Amino acid sequence: MARESESGFPIEPVYGPEAGAGAEDAGEKLGAPGAYPFTRGVYPTMYTGRPWTMRQYAGFGTAVESNARYRDLIAHGTTGLSVAFDLPTQMGHDSDAPLAHGEVGKVGVAIDSIDDMRLLFDRIPLGEVSTSMTINAPAALLLLLYQLVAEEQGVPADRLTGTIQNDVLKEYIARGTYIFPPEPSLRLTADIFRYCKAEIPRWNTISISGYHMAEAGASPAQEIAFTLADGIAYVRTALAAGMDVDDFAPRLSFFFVSRTTILEEVAKFRAARRIWARVMREEFGARNPKSWMLRFHTQTAGVQLTAQQPEVNLVRVAVQGLAAVLGGTQSLHTNSFDEAIALPTDKSARLALRTQQVLAYETDVTATVDPFAGSYAVESLTDEVEAAALALMERIEDLGGAVSAIEHGFQKAEIERTAYRVAQETESGERVVVGVNRFQLAAEEPYEPLRVDPAIEAQQAARLAKLRAERDQSAADAALAALRKAAEGTDNVLYPMKSALAARATLGEVCNALREVWGAYEPREVF
């Protein structure tokens, strides 16, 4: 049913090329919404049926503090949780490890064991909430801990919905929170694909991420080129492990940034869908249309937020969120305006969520599918971004694929060149950043940020000491030994890993058991 404009005329759910010259070519190139090649969106109705999933990325300090934030977000209308983990958790270290000192609870929540995971999701019905976890190298552990807590709540695994990021290749390119070398990391990814197909069928097993590459400086074309190249590497890994492409491809998802440059961002999302659909159907022979769909989560651009005049970030985030919606995202996280200074306060996180709610319920962008379709500017930009991305993907293939290109330092060098150019343009004033190189204030207004209590590290260490004293140590040791044996062979490591976590082995102990077998990744210098 068509919605009406403020002036009283109908807004059609879908607009298309008019009959006449060029209409057939345009229709064939773009397709209809929800149809190959999905340029216009992966679903026929998009937001005319219901809005995107509104996620808020949150997590800090202890599991108890983060749990309180999650319940507050849900009470204010969040429809999906997105969990941030601290750096020790992301890199597979317990909170009492020497390498964790000074970082516990700082950029996310500290999770050391099933005890912490229980507290993190206390009184949150896991059968009803969709949860995204931004975790990569130890993604399998956090997924299994989530499953174990759900089982304790009486929620069967086939009811669980959500996503683990689980994209380790971009860690070697842009972030650095890797643990194992690429080969065993890819094996772990394939094991996760197989495990979820059998045990947690509704779970999205990977969120192949361009966001962090964009935050490191990648252009829109580089962002989708390098992300899709990583996606191709994961598909090839799963196929080499004996899986059928249609057994896992429908559960693949992607994660992109949304910048303030609305037109190019919309074009980027449309081009990415078109490239992926073609790759999956033509290169990999996928038969299920769901395997051709590029479904993605978007986060607004943290790198574009400024510590100067932080309230201006509210405007930036609204513009970035609008670009994501016009580009057809499936879920969205809007950053809080104070994130360039510190972790968001309760008020700023709520304002970020309200930004999405205004877009969904007060604007008319949800009234019709793909509002920019047929725009001369956007269609031209879509073609140009697609061509530039394909050229970069071809260069990666010439180097032997994504992993080989990473080892050659190709993606990292390309991103660094773009980041340097942008920095030069900003410094010279050619690229305007409001409040930074133009429209500055003589003196910044004071702002009181949220601060994480440094005592959290000692609290987590005490919790770990208590856990190790209380648990059945022989059971934990036996489970860790079984995990090492599986890692030495070809069995799926997630089954013994789950047993070890259920026996209250810690995240660091599980990761160390795998380090003993697989080693730890040491980046090589590339000149």
Segment 417-437, tens digit of pLDDT: 999 999 999 999 999 999 999
502 and 401 both lie in a single domain: no
What integer pLDDT is reported at residue 22 of this predicted model? 42
Two tokens, residue 38:
């999905």
487 and 417 both lie in a single domain: no
187 and 112 both lie in a single domain: yes
What integer pLDDT is reported at residue 343 of this predicted model? 80
**pLDDT classification of 525: cutoffs 50, 70, 90:** low
How far is CA 476 from each of CA 200, 366, 471, 486, rounded to the nearest angstrom? 24, 52, 8, 15
408 and 485 both lie in a single domain: no
Two tokens, residue 526:
């590339």
Residue 59 clears pLDDT 90, i.e. is over it: no
Is the residue at 15 inside a domain? no
Place of tokens 């995990």: 483
Place of tokens 């969520």: 353
125 and 223 both lie in a single domain: yes
What integer pLDDT is reported at residue 466 of this predicted model? 98
Residue type, 302: G
Residue 333 pairs in a beta bridge with 55, 299
Rounded mean pLDDT of 312-337? Answer: 97
What integer pLDDT is reported at residue 487 of this predicted model? 98
Nearest in space to 506 (alpha carbons), one of 484, 477, 486, 485: 477
Q: For residue 330, what is the domain's CATH number?
A: 3.20.20.240
Helix/strand/coil for 128: coil
380 and 315 both lie in a single domain: yes
What gap in Å lies between CA 334 and CA 302, rounded to an integer?
Answer: 9
Is the residue at 457 inside a domain? no
Q: Which of 428, 462, 491 is the C-terminal boundary of a domain?
A: 428
Residue 18 clears pLDDT 70, i.e. is over it: no
Rounded mean pLDDT of 213-217? Answer: 97
489 and 404 both lie in a single domain: no
Give the predicted TM-score (pTM) of the model.
0.92
Q: Which of 374, 401, 428 is the C-terminal boundary of a domain?
A: 428
Lowest mean pLDDT among 27-36, 147-156, 210-219, 504-513: 27-36
Is the residue at 132 inside a domain? yes
Residue 189 clears pLDDT 50, i.e. is over it: yes
160 and 299 both lie in a single domain: yes
How far is CA 497 from each of CA 318, 345, 503, rounded to the nearest angstrom? 42, 36, 10
417 and 496 both lie in a single domain: no
Instruction: Name the CA radius of gyration of the chain, rounded.
Output: 23
Residue 24 clears pLDDT 50, i.e. is over it: no
274 and 192 both lie in a single domain: yes
Q: Are 256 and 227 in contact (CB under 8 A)?
A: yes
Rounded mean pLDDT of 341-345? Answer: 85
Residue 21 clears pLDDT 60, i.e. is over it: no
Cα angle 44, 45, 49; round to 5: 150
Rounded mean pLDDT of 210-217? Answer: 97
Lowest mean pLDDT among 69-78, 105-114, 266-275: 69-78
Residue 3 clears pLDDT 80, i.e. is over it: yes
What integer pLDDT is reported at residue 28 of this predicted model? 61
Q: What is the pLDDT of residues 86-129, one digit of tens each?
A: 999 999 999 999 999 999 999 899 999 999 999 999 999 999 99
Range of the domain at 507: 471-518
In eight-state DSSP terms, residue 369 is B
- Which of the two residues, 443 and 479, has the higher pLDDT score? 479
Two tokens, residue 254:
């992607």
73 and 170 both lie in a single domain: yes
Is the residue at 92 inside a domain? yes
Is the residue at 441 inside a domain? no
Rounded mean pLDDT of 150-178? Answer: 96
Is the residue at 189 inside a domain? yes
How far is CA 312 from each of CA 56, 284, 307, 355, 482, rounded to the nearest angstrom? 20, 45, 10, 13, 54
Q: Give burial (CB, 10 Å; 0-12/13-18/19+) of 222.
A: buried
Residue 27 clears pLDDT 60, i.e. is over it: no
Helix/strand/coil for 458: helix
What gap in Å lies between CA 112 and CA 516, rounded to an integer?
Answer: 19
Is the residue at 37 inside a domain? no
Question: CB under 8 Å to 347, separation ≥6 — which residues?
Answer: none
Rounded mean pLDDT of 315-334? Answer: 97
Question: CB under 8 Å to 192, separation ≥6 — which residues?
Answer: 139, 140, 143, 164, 166, 205, 206, 494
What is the domain count for the chain? 2
Q: Are 166 and 494 in contact (CB under 8 A)?
A: no
Q: How many CB atoms lie within 10 A of CB 432?
A: 11
Nearest in space to 454 (alpha carbons), one of 116, 117, 101, 112: 101
168 and 282 both lie in a single domain: yes
Question: Which residue spans within 85-181 are E strands per DSSP?
Answer: 130-134, 162-164
Q: Which of 410, 428, 446 is the C-terminal boundary of a domain?
A: 428
Is the residue at 40 inside a domain? no
